[in-house]
Amino acid sequence: MKILVLASFFLMIFGKNLLAAEAGMPQLDPEYWASQAFWLILIFTLLYLSISKLFVPKIRNSIDVRNSKIKDDLDEAKNLKDASEKKLKEYENLIESAKREVQKINTDSKEKLNDDIQKKKKLVEKEIDSAAEKAQSEITSLKKNSINDILKISEKMTATVIEEISGDKLNESSIKAAITEISKKKISNYL
Amino acid sequence: MATNPMHQFNVYRIGPEVKIAGIDISFTNSSLFMLLSAGAICIFLLLGTREKKLIPGKMQLVAEIFYNFIAKMISDTAGSKAKPYFPFIFSLFMFVLFCNMVGMFPYSFTVTSHIIVTLIMAMFIFVAVTVIGFIKHGFKYLKIFVPSGVPVLLLPLITIIEIISYLSRPVSLSVRLFANMMAGHTMLKVFGGFVISLGLLGGWLPLSFSVALTGLEILVAFLQAYVFAILTCIYLNDALNLHH
């Protein structure tokens, strides 16, 4: 509707254009219409050519370069992310296996240590046993020896004591027999 | 004559008179401002494309914003088939925008306030769109005048209305831009004249109006360039994708 009104308005003025131009609408004075048309076509054609051949490709190129750079960067970021995730998984697997290994080593070494300890214990016990036996046998031999020594000493002592008291010298063999007899009866009191 | 609000639209010759086959094509102030606008566009785009940085500088960013603005407008209204026409729509938008904006400078001339300029652009678009439509669809393009799903009784009437509306496209497209620019600049001039005639005491009110109108006119300058470009896209869409 608006369009039609405008169009009719335009046509109305257009019909009496000379009159309108005189009344003050230089737009409707056809004197320079050809000139305006010529220069418009010339200048707009030149502008269109320079824009379509020079400027638009340049702007488009820089926008394309930016977009492809953004896309490449995003792709690269995705690849890197995937790689890092892979590496992380690898690392986790490594840690997991290392943990298992550590556990294995731990139990193994514990067992080994236990075995070692048991072995050493047995060895030491054996040594202790043999040492104790040896000591025991030494003690018994010492005991036996000491009894003989004691008998001899007591024989001498008795002989000396009797000699001191009575002044007589008794027969050694009789003293020995007496001591042996006494010691046989009473040795258990001293041992 | 200086206070005549239409005086600013006068076209006068600059330099010698040039006639080819009896037609006067002398260089005028209109040609000068067309050249200035086109030069400003070239300088702007030259600055915007001078350095191609991954992270754009200020001018490069502005140029790319314009590029993306037009690219989005085309893909939204006419689809991907309209991509080859991007440079044309871009040139058209930039040219109309810069002509409108250059016209906002005091003592300058608004190229787009002349019906002949906008009519030539609109006629070119109209003819080009019609030719593209016939090339793409052959005689099926005439279907554009016969909307589907209309009762048979109403069909002749609707078809006549469709033909009239199709044929009035160049007129509406050109008159819209021309009338907007002319009306805005005339109003600015009228209010400017009021400032002078009302003097130091009463001139402040029209001056403030003038300031507000300048802001509005800058908006209109951008809006009309946008409307011109988007209507071109819509017409192109009709020619490329036959929907009716």
Average pLDDT over residues A2-9: 53
Average pLDDT over residues A31-46: 87
* pLDDT tens column, B73-95: 998 888 888 888 999 999 999 99
* pLDDT tens column, B173-226: 999 999 998 888 888 888 888 888 887 887 888 888 889 999 999 999 999 999
Interface residue of A12, A25, A42, A44 to substitute, partner B, most B CBs within 10 Å: A44
| pLDDT over 60 (residue B1) | no
Residue B126 lies in a domain: yes
Residue B42 lies in a domain: yes
DSSP 8-state class, residue B113: G
Note the pLDDT of residue A15: 46
Note the pLDDT of residue A2: 55
| pLDDT over 80 (residue A172) | no
Domain count, chain A: 1
Q: Give residue B117's domain range.
A: 7-240
Contact between A43 and B182 using a beta-carbon 8 Å cutoff: no
Residue B64 lies in a domain: yes
- Of all residues in chain A, the percent with pLDDT exceeding 70 is 85
Residue B144 lies in a domain: yes
* pLDDT tens column, A59-85: 888 888 889 999 999 999 999 999 999
Note the pLDDT of residue A177: 82
Whole-angstrom Cα distance, residue B114 to residue B187?
16
Maximum CA extent, chain B: 68
Provide the chain B residues 97-126 that lie in CB contact (below 8 A) with chain A. Answer: 111, 113-117, 120-121
Residue B2 lies in a domain: no
Note the pLDDT of residue B3: 63
Q: Say what the alpha-carbon torsion angle B35, B41, B46, B51 is, to the nearest 10 degrees.
A: 170
Name the interface residues of A facing B (CB cutoff 8 Å): 3-4, 6-7, 9-10, 24-29, 31-41, 43-44, 46-48, 50-52, 54-56, 58-63, 65-66, 69
Note the pLDDT of residue A77: 95
Q: Across chain B, what does the average pLDDT equal?
A: 86
Identify which has the larger pLDDT, B137 or B124. B124
* Highest-scoring range by mean pLDDT, A80-94, B108-122, B170-184: A80-94
Q: Which of A104-108, B35-39, B48-52 has the lowest mean pLDDT?
A: B48-52
Minimal Cβ distance to A59: which of B10, B24, B64:
B64
Residue B1 lies in a domain: no
Q: Across chain A, what does the average pLDDT equal?
A: 83
Structure tokens at A52: 């379509």
> Looking at chain B, which residue has its C-alpha nearest residue A70?
B54
* pLDDT tens column, B232-241: 999 988 888 8
State which amino acid sits at residue B244: H
Q: Give residue A8's domain range.
A: 2-190
* pLDDT tens column, A112-168: 999 999 999 999 999 999 999 999 999 988 888 888 888 888 888 888 888 888 877
Q: Which helix (H) or strand (E) holds A146?
A: helix A56-166
Whole-angstrom Cα distance, residue B52 to residue B38?
22
C-alpha dist (Å) from residue A28 to A19, B184, B223: 9, 18, 25
* pLDDT tens column, B53-64: 777 788 888 888
Domain count, chain B: 1
Helix (H, G, I), strand (E, B) or coil at B24: strand
Helix (H, G, I), strand (E, B) or coil at B151: coil
Structure tokens at A51: 């824009």
B103 — pLDDT class (breaks 50, 70, 90): confident
Note the pLDDT of residue A128: 94
A18 — pLDDT class (breaks 50, 70, 90): very low
| pLDDT over 50 (residue A19) | no
A20 — pLDDT class (breaks 50, 70, 90): very low
